Each structure stands twice: as structure tokens, then as C-alpha cells.
Structure 1
Amino acid sequence: MRAGPPSVLSPVEFWFRDHTSSGRRPSMPVYVGIDVHRKRSQVAVVDDEGSVRVNRNVPNGVAAVLAVIGDLPIGAPVAFEAAYGWGWLEQLLEDYGFEPHLVHPLRCKAIASARLKNDKVDAATLAQLLRADLLPEAWIAPMQVRQQRALLRHRCQLVRLRTLLRNRVHAVLADLGCDRPGSYFTAPGRAWLQELDLPDASQWVVDDLLGIMDALKEPIDALDRQLLATARGDPRVAALTRLPGVGTLTALMIVAEVGDVTRFPSARKLAAWAGLTPTVRGSDLTVRHGHISKQGSDWLRWILYEAAQTAKRSPEFAAAYQAIAHRRGKKIATTAIARRLLARAYHVLRAVQDRPDHREPR
């Protein structure tokens, strides 16, 4: 059986036809490596003996990729890096019966440190690593998780844009010596802004900034309603909001970014994946601990750091925060609280996951 029906005879099928007397494809396993780029991708097919049978550069798209690999057996493994815009390729492979393997780009040293590096070499190296079972793989989040992440990240970016606009209003008025004790953006603050006698250019800038902020309010409010509706049906969110510093949207972000918590055998592993553990360099009897690695999800680290700003004042973490801050400083102490908060979140999520009646929300 073929994985997907290409519209033209693929190079793989030509090779299969030439190497079998009956014209049928052999049952030998094959391995595919794809070096994904924004507009084009390099596709390499390697047989069980390690020989590169096909290595072709094709434009991104279903028809072009299937023209190269469409005649491979169902379940053929395909490796590709977690590069820009890989989602369409993963969906294509799932739809046509291939076995996708997402490669961790930072750990794929055979590509990163190669002396000869180009697309053909990279694609073939991915296929060879897959064949040798030496592929450093990353977890492929289900579509539902990726969509949830997209909504939460979109909301965060809109809120950041609104904050940038507010800061710009503050900067324009500060340059003119205008200030008031309260917020500029409440109803009394807006009334105060309207009464100011500003120069023409400054008034123009402030009016434009306020107009864009008003336009952002509707999509942010719509996202909040959608996300809060999702949170109401998720027991993981309800459990996480019992932690200090964790509100509903923070809990949703933790759930979406972590995904399947059972893939981490311990809280320490989750903290390392999130980039909240220090780097270690050791040789003989010398061991040096550096800054946190900052690998993994930037969004998870950011939301945990924001939650730690509140959690460090709670009775559960205040003593630990003060002790670490006295020895190492406030920034390192806040990062330590973020790491401890993630460890607590891990155990909460595992407890919810292990309930007999637990079901993943749709």
C-alpha cells in the first residue's frame, strides 16, 4: 500500500520499479529526512543499508512533497527539524499515513557541527540519524494544544502592544511636563487627557495612540471570553489556580505550554525542559554552575516569572525568597520561586491526570 497518491510518478517509484523484477515495491524499510524552509524543502530518502536513493529540492506543498515520497509504504518514518512553519508538514504526514519525527534542532549536533553543511547534506543526515535510531526528538503537540497555544500567545501579544502604546502616551506627556496621580486610561483619566492643551503634533500622536488602544479592546475582550469559557471546563485550570500567584489565564498558559505532563518523569525534568535550571560545566573535580539555560518555551518561563512576582510575597514562598535574595539577589530569587512554582504545578497536574475520572477537555 502507498501512503498517499501522488499526481506523478515519483523518483522513489522509479527506483523501486528498477530494483524489483515484478515492478512492485520491495518491503525493505526506508527513512526520509526533510530539511524544511519557508518556501522550499529538501527531501532525502535513505534505504535500510544507508544508501541515499533520492535527494531532491521541492517547493513546499502537498503535491510537490508527495511527488517524492508518496509511493513509500504506509508508516514510513519521516524526520524534520522544528524549524519555521513546520506545522503544515506534520499535518501532511499524518494525513497520508507517514510516521512523523520532530527533531530538536539544538541537539542535532551532526547537522549543527558539520564541516560541510547544505540542504542536501542536512536532509540526508536527518534520514541517516533516523535509520540509526540516534535522532534527538522533540514532542509533537496535538493540533488542539497548538491551537490553544496560538490563542493564548495572540492575546499576550495584543496586551503587550497595548502596554507599548500606553507607555508611548506616558512618554509624550512626560516630555511636555504633564502628569496626574492616577491612571491616564480610566474614565477620569481620559477626561483629563481631553482637557489638556497640547501642541498640535503631540495631540495628533496621543489621539492616534488612544485610537489604536480602543481598537485593541474588542479583540482582547473577545479572546478573554473565549479563554475563560475554555477554562471553566478544565479541571487542571481549577487545580492550578489554587497555587499562589496563578490566575485563570496563567493556569491556561501553563497547561497549554506544558501539554502532556506525563511525558516528564519528574518535576526536575519539567524545570529543565522549561529552561529554569542552571547550566552545569564540570571536569574532574571542578564543577561550575552557570545561569539558567533559557531553553524550552519562552512563554512558559515568562508566565512563571510573572506569577512568581506575586507568589514570592505569599506565606508559602516568602521565607525562601528572602533567604535566596539575601544571598544571591532579588532577580535570582524570583527565578528560584518561578522554578519552585513550576514544580508545584507539575505535581498538581500529575494529581489531576491520575484521577480515574479525568478526561482531556475538548
Structure 2
Amino acid sequence: MKLYVGIDLHSNNSVLVIIDKNDKVIYSKRLPNDAQVILGVLAMYKEQIDTIAVESTFNWYWLVDALQAEGYEVRLVNTAAVVVYDGLKYSGDFADARHLAHLLRIDLLPCGYIYPKEPRALRDLARKRAQLVRQKTTQLLSIKNLLMRNLGRDTPSYTIKTWTAEQVAALPLLPEQLLALQANWTVMQALAQQIQAVEAELLRQLKPCKDFQLLKTVSGIGDILSMTICLETGDITRFDSCGNFTSYARMVTSKRESNGKKKGEGNRKCGNRYLCWAFMEAAHFAIGSDELIKRFYQRKCAKNLKVVAMKAVAHKLARACYNMLKDGVEFDVKRAFN
């Protein structure tokens, strides 16, 4: 008899429910977030377990990796797409876990992609780099604001980045103001060193990758954008079509129509924000470096707002990248923008 498992995952515990083909609850208990404890419970039913559904929360890595290492078939639940009957008078962790197992049994469970463990670590390292860059920018802007308030001048960012400790100490500021600026500058320098170290490791591992080199042939895409697109995309075959990929990259509109009238819109932020950023940045650089893309952008600007025209260029680049990765061919600007 096949059994189906639903796990409602939390920060410090998990609710595990096992049901049979008739939706009868075989096991139901709240367990600590300990892989050995959970595996010990599942081991009693291992020969009968068909599939395990795990809620996609912020901390799903450790549980999914442990289950897959033991040979279980795991489904990562897309919690945003799980539909629960609105008329229910009661809802709780045990009911949620049982509902996941039920949807799994009837094959109606909306699932997400489980990024493989090793490349996932590299992707997360790239995301860490992006976080450090944002923090570095925060320190830089704080320095610029301090100088503007107290000296009345806008110091260029590139000038601040090249300052030495002696140049910072020589600024005509009060001791308290200088101490505040030195704190920002010291943190900014430390972040720059860490960003450089992370980038070096990422590029060392990605340079032999064929997809990484292919993406660099696209107008406007260099090392950092190629790295981001390559790692955030993962296995291109997980997307059934070009439209699915561009939707995942937030390159398509989201609206609902009926009888030619707009009735609302969906979640425009559903998708991968890192891919969205990468393609918008690539569009910005491509417009400045490729004449054909620039003319396409200008035609769009004549009919729409600039931001819409920029998004149209980014959408074209996203479609081109999908087909390049799928077919293993280099970028052809005439094919992409004609």
C-alpha cells in the first residue's frame, strides 16, 4: 500500500503527516528540526512511501537534501500556488500538512524546482556577492550625504573609492564628523575586499562552463551578468518554453482581461528578481553598445514610456538567452531584434 507524506516546515519544528491511498492518517506528529529524528520516523514506512511533499520555506535546504540522500522522492511545494478551501472554519499545522499529502496523492500538488545541492551553493555565493555590493553602495551613499551636508559639495563616487586613509583624515570636518565618515569608509573598504574575493572564486569555477561563455557573446552582458543569468537559470530544460523562462525572469506583463476590458492583474513580482535585474542591466548596456538594439529601443520609445521600451529590450535579450542556452549557439543580434 502506497503512503504519501506531507511536511509543514517551520523554523524550529516540522509537522509530519502520513496518509494512505484512502486519505486515512497513518502518522501525525510535530517533530524537532533534526534530520535524524525525521529520517528515523520515515524509516518505519520507507518501503511503502511513494513521495514526500516539503513546504518551500526559507529553510528547506537541509531537509530536502537529507531526504534525497536517503533515496526518497521529494516534491518541493510552491506554497503560493496551493489553494485551500476558503470556507474552512479551522486551519492549523496538522491540517496543512495533511492537505499537502492529500494534494500529493491526487497529483494536484503545485511544485517548485529543486536546485541541485552543489550548484545551489555556487548560486547562493553569487547572491551573497549581490548582497555585499548593496551594502557597499549603502556605505558609499552615506559618505556622499555626509560630505554634502557638511561641506556643501557632491563628491564623485569614483573619487571616494580611490581615497586613501591619509586623504580621509585630511578632510576639513569636525572630529565627530570625521569619525563617522571613517567608520563608513572602513566598512566600505572591507566589503570591497570581500566582494573581490567572492568574484574571483565565482569566475574561477564558471569560466570552464560553456553556458557562461555563450552568454558573454550577448550584447551588454559581461562577466557579472553572465554569471548571474547562468547560475539563476540552472538547467535550461526545466523550462518547457521560452515564454515560461521570460515569465520566470519577470519579463512579461501580468493582467486579467474579459471582453476586451482589464479586470485586474496578477502578481507582477512572481519570478526571479535576480534574473530580472540582470536582463534590465544588460538592456541598459546593450542600448549603448549596439546600434541595432539602440534603433529598436528608439522605435519603442516613440510609442511608449522609456521604462517600457527598456523592458522590451530586456525581454528580447531574455528570449535570445533562452534559445542560446537551449540550442548551444552564440548570440545573433539580427535574429533577436529584426
The TM-score, its normalising length taken from structure 2, stands at: 0.89
* Partners of 2:231 and 2:189 in 1: CA distance: 29
Match of 1:106 among 73, 80, 96: 80
Change (3 A) 1:53 1:188: closer
**In the alignment, is residue 233 of structure 1 matched against residue 219 of structure 2?**
no
Q: Deviations over 1:52-84 (max 9, x none)?
A: 122211111113212432212246310012111
Structure 2 distance, partners of 1:331, 1:223, is 32
Does the C-alpha gap of structure 1 residues 269 and 230 become closer, same or farther in structure 2, counting only changes over 3 Å?
A: same
Unaligned runs of 5+ in 1: 1-27, 354-362
CA change 1:263–1:320 in 2 (3 A) is same
**Does residue 300 of structure 1 match 2:286?**
no
Q: Contact 1:41–1:59 at 8 Å: present in 2 too?
A: yes
Corresponding residue of 2:315? 339
Report the equivalent of 1:44: 17
Say which SS state the counterpart of residue 185 (structure 1) adopts.
helix
4+ residue stretches of structure 1 with deviation over 6 A?
none
- Residue pair 1:45, 1:127 contacting (<8 A) in 2 also: yes
Distance 2:6 2:154 in 1: 60
Aligned to 2:298: 322
Q: Is the 8 A contact 2:5 2:52 kept in 1?
A: yes
Q: Take 1:292 and 1:326, find their aligned partners in 2: how far apart are those partners?
A: 28
CA distance in 2, matches of 1:143, 1:281: 37
Shift of 1:287: 4.9
Show the counterpart of 2:117.
143
The answer to whether the 8 A contact 1:50-1:128 is kept is: yes
Q: Distance in 2 between matches of 1:115 and 1:260?
A: 42
CA shift in 2, pair 1:112/1:31, >3 Å: farther
CA contact (8 A) 1:276 1:292 kept: no
Two-structure CA RMSD over aligned residues (Å): 2.2
What 5-or-longer segments of structure 2 have no aligned partner?
Answer: 330-338
- Describe the shift of the 1:87–1:106 C-alpha distance in structure 2 as closer, same or farther (beyond 3 A): same
Matched, 1:255 2:230: yes
Letter in 1 for 2:314: A
Aligned CA distance change for structure 1 residues 44 and 278 (closer, same or farther; 3 Å): same
Matched to 2:211, the amino acid is R
Please name the residue that 2:180 is paired with.
205
- State, as a whole percentage, how many aligned pairs show the same letter: 28
* 1:1-362 map, 5 Å: 28-74=1-47, 76-110=50-84, 116-176=90-150, 177-180=152-155, 183-187=158-162, 192-287=167-262, 293-313=268-288, 314-352=290-328
Alignment deviations for residues 150-193 of structure 1 (CA, whole Å, 9 cap, x no partner): 11011111111111100000000000114446733344676654
Secondary structure of 1:154's match?
Answer: helix
Shift in CA distance, 186/168, structure 1 to aligned 2, threshold 3 Å? closer
Query: How many correspondences in the alignment?
Result: 326
Q: Whole-Å Cα distance in 2 between the matches of residues 304 and 40 of structure 1?
A: 38
User: Which range is displaced more, 308-317 or 183-192?
Assistant: 183-192
Tell me if structure 1 keeps the 8 A contact 2:39–2:67: no
1:201, distance to aligned residue in structure 2 (A): 1.4
> In the aligned structure 1, how far is the partner of 2:214 from the partner of 2:176?
51
